Chain A
Amino acid sequence: MPDKTETTNVAKKAAGLGISLDAWAVALALGFALLVWLGWIKRVPW
C-alpha cells in the first residue's frame, strides 16, 4: 500500500546527508528559480 516505510526511508536518507527532505525540495525549487532568472532555462514547455 502506501509506502510509508519507503517514504520514511527516503526522508531518513535525505536527513542523513544533513538536511531534511523538505529542505532538499526547497533547495531544488530555488535552484530552478535561479536558473530561470539567469536565463539558463529559457523555455519550459507544457
Chain B
Amino acid sequence: MNAVAVEGVWKYYGDYPALRDVRMEAAAGQCLALIGRNGAGKTTLLRIIAGFSAAQRGKIKIWGKEPREAETRRQMGFLGHGISVYDELSALENLVLFGKLYGLPDPRKSALEWLERTGLERVRNGLVREFSRGMRQRLAVARAFLHDPTVLLLDEPFTALDDRAIAVLQRLLREALAAGKTIVMSTHQLREALELASHVALLSRGQLAFHGERTAEMVEDPGYVYARYGEGA
C-alpha cells in the first residue's frame, strides 16, 4: 500500500484550475521532492494532501485512508510556511499542547526530548515571541516531528532556515528516511532536496509534468528536470 496516493485531484480557485488531474504516489520509505515554478500548485497540493483544503475532484489516500480521519492525521507531520506555534506560549508549553492534542502518552517527556534534539532545551521556558527566527524554526521542526509521524509533509522546509536549522532538519529527515518514513516535500532549493529525494514530481501550471525516480543527472544538475520536462522543454 502506498503511503500517499493522489488520485486525479482537481482544485479550482474561482475559474482558475490550480491543480488539473494530478495523479501520483509515494511508497513507504520514499522521499518525494515536489518541484515546480511559483504558482505551479505545489503548496495547494500539499495542503490538500494534509487535509487542510478539499479537492473539487479526485481523492487523497494516506495509508489507504482519507486525510481528515483522526487516525490518518496522527500519522502525518506537517511543516508549512508558518511555524504553527504560539508566540504567547513558551517552547515547552507549545510542544506539550501539541503532544496532548496528538494524544501522546507523556506529552511533557516527548516535548523535553524534542527540545533537546533541536537544541532548545536551555530556552524551553522562554516565550516564543522572544525567540530568534532560527530558534522559532527549530521549534517548528520539533512540533512537526513530535508525534513520530510516518508521513512527513514539508512545504519549502529549507526556505529561510539558518545554517543550524538546516543541519537539524537534514539530520532529522535522514533519520526519518532511515526509519522507513515517507517524506513529501515541496521545494525550490533543488540541491538540498534532490540529495535527499528518492523520487521527483514536477508540477507545471497545475499539471504533473514528470513523476519518477530521481536520477544521477538530477543531482549533478538541479536544473535538469526543468530543462528536460518543464515548460518549453
Tell whether A pairs with B. Answer: no
